[in-house]
Copies of this chain bind each other. A is one copy, B any other.
Amino acid sequence: MKPCILLIEDDRDMRELVSGHLEHSGFDVQSADDGIKGQALALQYSPDLILLDLMLPKVDGLTLCQRLRRDERTAAIPILMLTALGGTKDKVSGFNSGADDYLTKPFDLEELQVRVKALLRRSERAPVGTTSNHHEILSYGPLTLVPERFEAIWFDRPVRLTHLEFELLHCLLQRHGQTVAPSLILKEVWGYEPDDDIETIRVHVRHLRTKLEPDPRKPRFIKTVYGAGYCLELPTGAQLEGLQDVLAQARQEREQKDQESRASA
């Protein structure tokens, strides 16, 4: 999971510059443009780190820093102050308000980035509970997903999946029985939502089918809902009877074919 950074800064250009650069470096950045909103977002997201400008509307940075330190819910979050005030006095009062680091404008984005990393490295606190955990085992019916290895356990047999195949299956499994729209898949698996890339989804669905379906031509589990998306239908309970054999047989046939094609090659 990307580290979450809260940027509290009133100057819009600066905000976009910094958040752009950090997002590009693999951080999840939330922004606030005044002290009040900043405090609210800090409580809402409990970010892994806070970048705090000192000259803020509503509540100034030093005050906000002290408040964050007093509230136990935010007390442990590293704070990096980011300000035009470069005097020693300013820095001293910044650190005395509870800051962990202090960077003077104008600063170098590279330096900001490494300082952010250094702070995250040291704090490294146990996650307070991000719920949608992509690293936990997810299981339903005959399907179990093991994020650790990008692997699916399918009717008691491990199936190796590629990164995207795994994410796609994960996305469908979380909504098994529901039809999942392409746009939603794109947002969740690929991280963006354009209009045209539905093409790639199709290809990956096909890959999944060849790996999981007994007969990829006639999908039993990963179904197409015409004009709407794809839907994962997994059998449970009594429906599972007999399927095991069908699967085993199909697997055998496929392995035979594989061997044949290898032999001819």
Contacts and interface: CB of A to CB of B under 8 A. Distances in A.
B96 A114 contact: yes
Interface residues of A, number: 42
Contact of A101 (B118, B149, B150, B231): B118
B148 A179 contact: yes
A110 B90 CA distance: 11
A59 B193 CA distance: 36
B118 A91 contact: no
B122 A123 contact: yes
A178 B76 CA distance: 31
B111 A91 contact: yes
A101 B96 CA distance: 17
Interface string A110-130: 110011011101111111000
A92 interface: yes
A178 to B, nearest CB: 5
Contacts of A163: 226-228
A92 B111 contact: yes
Contacts of A99: 118
Interface string A76-94: 1010000000001001101
A192 B227 CA distance: 20
A123 B122 CA distance: 8
Contacts of A98: 121
A23 interface: no
Contacts of A121: 98, 100, 192-193
12 contacts: A76-B125, A78-B122, A88-B108, A91-B108, A92-B114, A98-B121, A100-B122, A121-B193, A125-B127, A148-B178, A148-B179, A162-B226
